[in-house]
Amino acid sequence: MDEFGMGNSTLNSHFGPTLNPLYQQNEDIVSEYKQETFWAPKADSDLINRDILHSIPNAKEIDKYDEIRYLKPILKSDYTIDSQMRIVGGSSGGAAASVAADLVDFAIGTDTGGSIRLPACYTSTLGFKPSYGRISRWGLISYAQSLDTVGIISKKLDIIEKVFKMLDVYDYGDPTSLAENKRVRDEDNWFADGRKVRIGLPIEFQLENMGSGIKQRWMQLLEKLRQNKLIELYPVSIPSIKYSLPVYYTLVTSEASSNLSRFDGIRYGFRADKYTDTEPEYTVTRSEGFGEEVKRRITLGTFSLSSYGFDSHFMKATKLRSRLINEFNSVFRDRHELIPEESGNDKGVDFIVCPTSVDKPSIVSEYYNTSPVQSYLNDVMTTPISLAGLPTINIPYGKSEGFQLVGQFGYDYKVLKFAAMVSES
């Protein structure tokens, strides 16, 4: 985890930075692989609920345990990352990297404001963020749970669909889990013969600061889509997209500052053990235990929720978020599954398509020098869709380049189905 899923670089993780498998790294940053062993209770033994052991079990019980060995990489103390190495993106950068490096067929990650789509884009993999509430968050450590969404990264669409079908179930344990009757399943007439698929291109995404390489790729893609006889392209306007970065960072930091307040060192996790007379060592524990980016976000969120900032920041952001959702609803043809009476435009589009990132992934050494605010700008293409909770998938289109296909809330299978059609052609 990149500091509690915060940040979009995956450079600050507990076990060191995650590098992007698409780029060359000449020097191995690992000095050695150390073999580690642990013992796990066998599934059919009566010890099944016991903890795993890190030392050999006693002779009486040893038959009831499996001995499991694994290699633990030990980082060099003075490694250098190649000058041309680019970041993997984050925060589910580890998940994307392990898919890109063919270590696994798929990986599960979470996407709050682009944490699946951005690393998928940077590693040229498929990264699917379903509608908010579609996959249970039970057991997931909350970062900003009005946005946190579990998603899937893979190189193959059919694998993503297979995994999604398994996970796409209502969970009583998660209060935000989508009710069974709000989950649109397959509908045969989505792409009936003769009806053209309407794709919207939000004019607000034509950003000035988009990298020239990306801009060029984007034009190529549009040209290709234009030539497809089954597709019609429409410019659409969602004016509030221009507010979505500040709205996103206001809401996300507020929720994070709240959610992380349980990490006070009293019941679990790090504790500074430096007592003061007036309080348990909350201040020292949290100052020492959290990383810089986490502390920065807690501070921002605390301000937004304070009596000074609540109306002017938090509530304002909340209102703008509602406006953004209404604007998305006004351009989609399908009805929003949670607010069907306020959505469904017959003349609307089936999908929205837009780039996933504004530029190629940064060179690692340069990223270390970018300011936090500058790094937040990388999320400009992904956060509006997160704020609206819409299903979307990053489809790779060149090295570390990709675009997002976005559908109406609840229409996850429609997105996957159309993604398959686009990928084929």
Q: Which of 222, 310, 360, 399 binds other proteins (CB under 8 A)?
A: 310
Residues 6+ apart with CB under 8 A from 94: 10, 13, 18, 88, 107
For residue 191, what is the DSSP state? Answer: G
Please say which residue, 280 or 344, places its beta carbon nearer to other proteins: 280
307 scored as a contact of other proteins (CB under 8 A)? yes
Smallest separation (angstroms) from other proteins to the CB of 241? 22
Choose between 172 and 208: whose C-beta lies nearer to other proteins.
Answer: 172
Q: Note the helical H segments in 123-173.
A: 157-167
CB of 266 to other proteins, least distance (A): 6
The CB-of-134 to other proteins minimum distance in angstroms stands at: 15
Asked if 146 interacts with other proteins (CB under 8 A), we say yes
Structure tokens, 279:
């309080």
Which residues, at least 6 apart from 294, have a Cβ–Cβ distance to it below 8 Å?
Answer: 3, 4, 6, 256, 260
- Least distance between other proteins and beta carbon 246 (Å): 18
Q: How many CB atoms lie within 10 A of CB 209?
A: 8
302 binds other proteins (CB under 8 A): yes
Which of 134, 202, 242, 243 has the alpha carbon at shortest distance from 348? 202
What would you report as the CA-atom Rg of the chain, rounded to the nearest whole angstrom? Answer: 23
> Footprint of other proteins on residues 95-124 (CB under 8 A)?
none
* Per-position x/- string for 315-354, each x denoting binding to other proteins as judged by CB under 8 A, each - no binding: ---x------------------------------------
C-alpha to C-alpha distance for 144 and 6, rounded to whole angstroms: 10
* 278 is a site residue for other proteins (CB under 8 A): no
Least gap, CB of 124 to other proteins (angstroms): 31
Q: Which of 138, 234, 270, 368 binds other proteins (CB under 8 A)?
A: 138
Nearer to other proteins, 239 or 269 (CB): 269
- State the minimum distance, in angstroms, from the CB of residue 310 to other proteins: 7
Q: How far is the CB of 317 from other proteins (least distance, A)?
A: 12
145 binds other proteins (CB under 8 A): yes
Number of residues that bind other proteins (CB under 8 A): 36
Residue listed under structure tokens 């959702």: 325
- The whole-angstrom separation of Cα 195 and Cα 166 is 31
Does residue 228 belong to the site contacting other proteins (CB under 8 A)?
no
Contacting other proteins within 243-272 (CB under 8 A): 254-255, 257-258, 260-264, 266-268
Give Cβ neighbours of residue 314 (< 8 Å, ≥ 6 apart): 250, 251, 254, 304, 305
Per-residue contact track with other proteins, 172 to 191, x per CB under 8 A? xxxxx---------------
Instruction: Name the burial class of residue 51, with classes exposed (0-12), middle (13-18) and buried (19+) by CB atoms within 10 angstroms of its CB.
Output: exposed
Preceding omega of 13 cis (within 30 degrees of 0): no
Separation CA 364–CA 11 (nearest Å): 8
Interface ranges with other proteins (CB under 8 A): 137-142, 144-146, 172-176, 254-255, 257-258, 260-264, 266-268, 279-280, 282, 302, 305-307, 310, 314, 318
